[in-house]
A and B are shown apart, each in its own frame.
Chain A
């Protein structure tokens, strides 16, 4: 009995590959969006408006990781009667973003040729 490729492909394989593909892109998207200072919730909304949905469980740990790598700086400030943690790109983050964006464009143009 023959199965087509679509029949035998397990849904979790596609999901894992999709997540893997998105992981690197999310970092770039977050760095890009934080050229403007934002706190977590507004950052998430801004990314979603651009079609980059990201859940809290991914976003907040990522923000902390990027901050610990020196690419972001953050500070607690009160806004709308609540303390919020605002993030923005650090000077180092700006340099890295520029380099990553250039890498992204290069990959993108290569992939367009391949695909």
Chain B
């Protein structure tokens, strides 16, 4: 019976201290009663294997002990969905801030390793964000329960209905395709024949060499953008096209922004001999760099939020029998 005592000892270890002896005493009686019954029917003492089988039926000692405990949680079911949303938003915000600072440092000409160090700091910052958000919500849940705040709700205070954006009609999509094609052609042609973009300003400014270097990326961007619209026109049932296109375009956009941001001279003076134009192009380039940094932040938000939503939809869909794009 040593095995049974060892089992009971393990159960006792996981029980609330005040009830340990009482519960173990009762369990011991129950187990021994079963042993006696079996031994009486077999006409002999139980073997070790038979005792093992009997104890296995009772389950792991920790599982058995857990059933005597009250269900415990830090954040209740009412507060949890709000907590989860706030936590996700806070983590995304912290990520965007880190990426923003990294880009700002890179744009300011700091060393590559110095810029990366900021990004690598994100996991510890995320841990701190997780701890603080959790702590605040534990406190809110605790004091909310004490003050019965949750009972004071009134249905009239519920937020108004949010109307879902209806999918674009075929006419809207065709119009979009025409605009995209015209804009894409204008932009791609304009990079070669710059007066198409600058107009009379072409006499003062020209695109820097980087625009020619990443020309294939611009071509790819225009083609991908047009392809998604064509897909939406011919396959309106593919409900995720809009979301996927936003994520893909944000990704390609980020790549383009990366090459542009690390180039100091995005625009160059048409007349390199003019000191006045050199100064002006420097000011314009600084302004463009600032705008590009904002674009980076927006693209990252789009990429992270869009990617997370797509992933969530994909995970949800894997539990459904039928699937379409």
Q: A residues within 8 Å of B by Cβ? A: 3, 8, 39-41, 44, 55-58, 60-61, 64, 82-85
- For the complex of A and B, the 3 pairs showing the least CB-CB separation, nearest first, are A41-B33, A61-B67, A57-B64
Shortest beta-carbon distance from A67 to chain B in Å? 11
Would you call A40 and B59 a contact (CB within 8 A)? no
Q: B residues within 8 Å of A by Cβ? A: 19, 23, 25-27, 29-30, 32-34, 57-59, 63-64, 67-68, 321
Q: In whole angstroms, how far apart are the Cα atoms of A44 and B31 in the complex?
A: 12
Which of B26, B58, B63, B67 is in CB contact (< 8 Å) with A40? B26
* Contact (A64, B29) CB under 8 Å given A3-B321, A41-B34, A57-B59: no
Given contacts A40-B29, A44-B30, 5 further A-B contacts (CB under 8 A): A41-B29, A60-B26, A83-B25, A84-B29, A85-B25
Q: In whole angstroms, how far apart are the Cα atoms of A34 and B34 in the complex?
A: 20
* Contact (A82, B29) CB under 8 Å given A8-B321, A56-B58, A57-B58: yes
10 A-B pairs with CB atoms under 8 Å apart are A39-B29, A41-B33, A55-B59, A57-B59, A57-B64, A57-B67, A61-B67, A64-B68, A82-B29, A85-B25
Q: In whole angstroms, how far apart are the Cα atoms of A61 and B66 in the complex?
A: 10
Determine the chain B residues whose CB is within 8 A of the CB of A57 once the complex forms: 58-59, 63-64, 67
Would you call A61 and B68 a contact (CB within 8 A)? yes
Q: In whole angstroms, how far apart are the Cα atoms of A84 and B32 in the complex?
A: 11
Would you call A83 and B29 a contact (CB within 8 A)? yes
Determine the chain B residues whose CB is within 8 A of the CB of A85 once the complex forms: 25-26, 29
Would you call B57 and A41 a contact (CB within 8 A)? no
Please name the residue on chain B nearest to A82 by beta carbon: B29
Would you call B25 and A58 a contact (CB within 8 A)? no
Residue from the set A57, A58, A82 with the largest chain B CB neighbour count within 10 Å: A57
Determine the chain B residues whose CB is within 8 A of the CB of A41 once the complex forms: 29-30, 33-34
Would you call A55 and B58 a contact (CB within 8 A)? yes
Q: In whole angstroms, how far apart are the Cα atoms of A29 and B239 in the complex?
A: 51
